[in-house]
Amino acid sequence: MEQTKKFLLPESELPTKWYNILADMKNKPLPMLHPGTKQPMKSEDLYPLFAKDLADQEMNQTDEWIDIPDEVREKLKIYRPTPLVRAYNLEKALDTPAHIYFKNESVSPVGSHKLNSALAQAYYCKKEGVTNVTTETGAGQWGTAMSFASKAFGLELAVYMVKISYEQKPYRRSLMQTWGAQVIPSPSMSTKAGRKIITEHPNYQGSLGTAISEAIELAMSTPNCKYTLGSVLNHVSLHQTVIGLEAEKQMEMTGEYPDVVIGCFGGGSNFSGLAFPFMRHTIKAGKKTRFIAAEPSSCPKLTRGVFEYDFGDEAGYTPLLPMFTLGHNFAPAHIHAGGLRYHGAGSLVSQLLKDNLMEAVDIEQLDSFKAGVLFAQTEGIVPAPESAHAIAAAISEALKAKEEGVSKTILFNLSGHGLVDMTAYDQYLAGDLMNYSLSDQEIKDNTENLEKLA
């Protein structure tokens, strides 16, 4: 019998609403706090920084469904709905009775799921008359997504790119410039925050924390300019739910329902996007599904971090968020999954983990690349080093199913492809990569000074 490999939806099945899990959560996350006064913040407090609609979405605890504007749906149709694929060849290679499915977000023009939120954020900025936007980027995926989204909605974008990535990942910089963005290596002389660091440490190679500070400063000091962020916040997870809403319909086409749903984890947006629409059936109808976030062993905030209020950036400019964190001064090892090198987890996921609605696992760098190479050799797609963490977790679940001799339906998110990350694969294939272990003492040193506000 011929096997159905791809489950495709017509454009007319692109979701018309995003799913807001905040409305359904029995225990709401603790409120965001003002960094100075330590008082709970309202959406108005975020208006100077973010577009109003985005600030309102961030705080919306009542509407389970939020309309996706037609203008955003039109742009999403460039690449959505994305395929759901049954990974038959990977199953065969593992000799597992498990059925493995993946949602393929690597087909977006920028190569990752990040465009799902970039388009929405650019649209809401344009709608309120904003002309300029700023952001920061580490490895470059969020910057590339915002570059295309800004061009699509006629906005001027300035991206602060961590200096070491600017030099080491020239192709992501070229992509951003091709889509018309201005890319500035951070630290730069264009902001007070940047000048201060360059004066004190002339050879500083940059960090995401510094780049965030520069992007926020430029947004606050430029008329008609807003700041955008690619992960961690509630509204970003909200925009990503198109992934899970499509996957829900596609799983129906397969005649199966996932026992396990897996996503890799940086700040939480792609994991949330796939998991939350399925989790609503767990919350509302008591469905038994396991949700697994796969994080790198070198940056284990969910598996080994503490639950506390912490800043989103190194400098401590952002509001305080309740999160599982390794401390905002934590400097993760330079693993190649740049998108997963973030010290904290979004507050939605942090609360859901506390409430045992989900689990987390940590994956060693070498195991992630081993899984990535097996996936490339069986399913043909070279995965992003970030996505390879989800693949490693899926493989581990499939091998457990084999040991136990039971079938099981596994769904994971392929958050992006790795075609701009081949330097990392080169190093892996040459045997030049290693694992990084983190001692309990290091974690304690970085977290023990957090104010006990949670």
Ligand X SMILES: *Cc1c(COP(=O)(O)O)cnc(C)c1O
Nearest to 308 by CA among 291, 293, 325: 325
Helix (H) or strand (E) holding 101: strand 99-104
Question: What is the nearest approach in angstroms of ligand X to the Cβ of residue 3?
Answer: 28
Residue 44 CA to residue 89 CA, distance in Å, equals: 51
**Residue (119 or 130) nearer to ligand X, CB:** 119
Sign of CA dihedral 215, 46, 241, 272: positive
At 267, phi and psi to the nearest 5? Answer: -110, -15
Q: How far is the CB of 352 from ligand X (least distance, A)?
A: 14
Among residues 201, 247, 200, the alpha carbon closest in space to that of 82 is found at 247
Q: Where are the alpha helices (DSSP H) in 315-364?
A: 347-354
Residue 223, classed as helix, strand or coil, is coil
Residues 215-234 vs ligand X: string with x where CB under 6 A? ----------------x---
DSSP letter assigned to residue 31 = P
Nearer to ligand X, 59 or 274 (CB): 274
Coil/strand/helix, residue 262: strand
Residue 141 touches ligand X, criterion: CB under 6 A: yes
Contacts of 405 (CB under 8 A, 6+ apart): 97
Q: Is 235 in the site for ligand X (CB under 6 A)?
A: no
Nearest distance in Å: CB 406, ligand X = 30
344 binds ligand X (CB under 6 A): no
The footprint of ligand X on this chain (CB under 6 A) covers a number of residues equal to 19
Q: Which of 378, 123, 325, 364 is nearest to 226 (CA)?
A: 123
Contacts of 366 (CB under 8 A, 6+ apart): 428, 433, 434, 435
| Separation CA 160–CA 185 (nearest Å) | 6
270 binds ligand X (CB under 6 A): yes
Least distance from C-beta 232 to ligand X, angstroms?
7
Nearest one of 347, 382, 387, 353 to 368, comparing CA atoms:
387
Bond from prior residue into 81 cis (ω within 30 degrees of 0): yes
Among 121, 269, 282, 365, binds ligand X (CB under 6 A): 269
Check residue 387 for interaction with ligand X (CB under 6 A). Answer: yes
| Token duo for residue 51 | 């577009």
**Tokens 């706090």 label which residue?**
33
Binds ligand X by CB under 6 A, chosen from 57, 415, 446, 447: 415
The least CB distance from residue 39 to ligand X, in Å, is: 28
CA distance 334 to 322: 26
Q: Which stretch binds ligand X (CB under 6 A): 306-314, 317-325, 383-391, 427-435?
A: 383-391
368 belongs to the binding site for ligand X (CB under 6 A):
no
Binding status of residue 386 toward ligand X by CB under 6 A: yes
**Taking the complex as a whole, how short is the minimal distance between the CB of residue 228 and ligand X, in angstroms?**
14
Q: Closest separation between CB of residue 421 and ligand X, Å?
A: 9
365 binds ligand X (CB under 6 A): no
Smallest separation (angstroms) from ligand X to the CB of 165 = 13
DSSP structure class, residue 432:
-
Q: Check residue 266 for interaction with ligand X (CB under 6 A).
A: yes
Residue 343: name the closest of 241, 207, 197 by CA: 207
Selected binder of ligand X within 340, 371, 381, 395 (CB under 6 A): 340
Residues in the chain: 454
The single residue among 18, 227, 265, 276 that binds ligand X, judged by CB under 6 A, is 265
For ligand X, the closer of residues 324 and 408 by Cβ is 324
C-beta of residue 4 within 8 angstroms of C-beta of residue 86: yes
Q: Nearer Cβ to ligand X, position 20 or 415?
A: 415
332 binds ligand X (CB under 6 A): no
Shortest Å, Cβ 303 to ligand X: 15
Binder to ligand X among 185, 187, 206, 268 (CB under 6 A)? 268
**Per-residue interface string for the shown chain with ligand X, residues 86-115, x marking contact by CB under 6 A:** --------------------------x-x-
Given 32, 120, 152, 384, the residue binding ligand X (CB under 6 A):
384
Interface with ligand X, residue 353, by CB under 6 A: no
Q: 347 or 387, CB closer to ligand X?
A: 387
8 Å CB contact between 270 and 240: yes
Binding positions for ligand X, rule: CB under 6 A: 112, 114, 141, 231, 264-271, 339-340, 384, 386-387, 415-416
